[in-house]
Amino acid sequence: MGKQKLDAAFSAVKNNGDKAFVPYIMAGDGGVDALKEQILFLQESGATAVELGIPFSDPVADGPVIQEAGLRALANGTTLSGILQSLDEWKESRTIPIVLMTYFNLIFAYGIEKFAKRCEEVGVDGLIIPDLPLEEEELVTPVFTDQKIALIRLVSPTSPKSRIERIAKKTEGFLYAVTVKGTTGARTQYEEGLSAYLQELQAFSAAPVLAGFGVSSPEQVKELGASCDGVIVGSKIVELLAAGKREQIKELIAASKLNKATVDYIS
């Protein structure tokens, strides 16, 4: 399914009058055996898609909460092959799209063509590769296109407008709008001009625009969602999942449901 599954999920959210909500979790934090239960919990709680982080020893885009989760996952013996095998074993139980967030080194070491084929086999729908710049993505795009896997691009508020526009026009699945100047992690406030930045991205991108980095409260989910198509929540989800605070995760997801009937269903 790949790109089609992502497109259908975002269309369904928009048609319902809601905003998209994509939680990030670290694969193997709690053990790979916990992955099925974690993703199915997010699916049942109303998430639009799941961004699944692959633990890596040098995660340049990640803040301390996600770095620590990655170290816990690596200490548990988590590997890329093991994660893909887990996803394969219970793919028939999943309806929610899966987006892998991984660094290019892991894909290169696995083998680009082998990795793309395996992603298609196990039901991965999209990929986020934060350290693969636009100028070098031809290393992977032909192979991912063949397997119908969406390559989701990131844009930063520090990039020149011309570059932002190029990235926005090429993205697949959705456009990942980084909202802060820095790594992932909870913030209490955003910089002035963020709303205008997100609205401008919507004018450039035919794909949904989702705001990520620093989203940590239901109020922020609503605030950012008012200026784009939805949000990505990472560090806060990782933190709450590790602490067993599932009800707070449900509250974050429910904040994206502007349609009252949907909120009642989730609660």
Residues with catalytic function:
51, 62
Which residues, including other chains, have CB under 8 Å from residue 245's CB and lie 6 or more apart?
Answer: none
Specify whether the CB–CB gap between 143 and 116 falls below 8 A: yes
Pairing mode, strands 150-152 and 50-53: unpaired
Strand, helix or coil for residue 154: strand
Which residues, including other chains, have CB under 8 Å from residue 71's CB and lie 6 or more apart?
Answer: 55
Pairing mode, strands 20-26 and 50-53: parallel
What's phi and psi for 126, nearest 5 deg? -155, 165
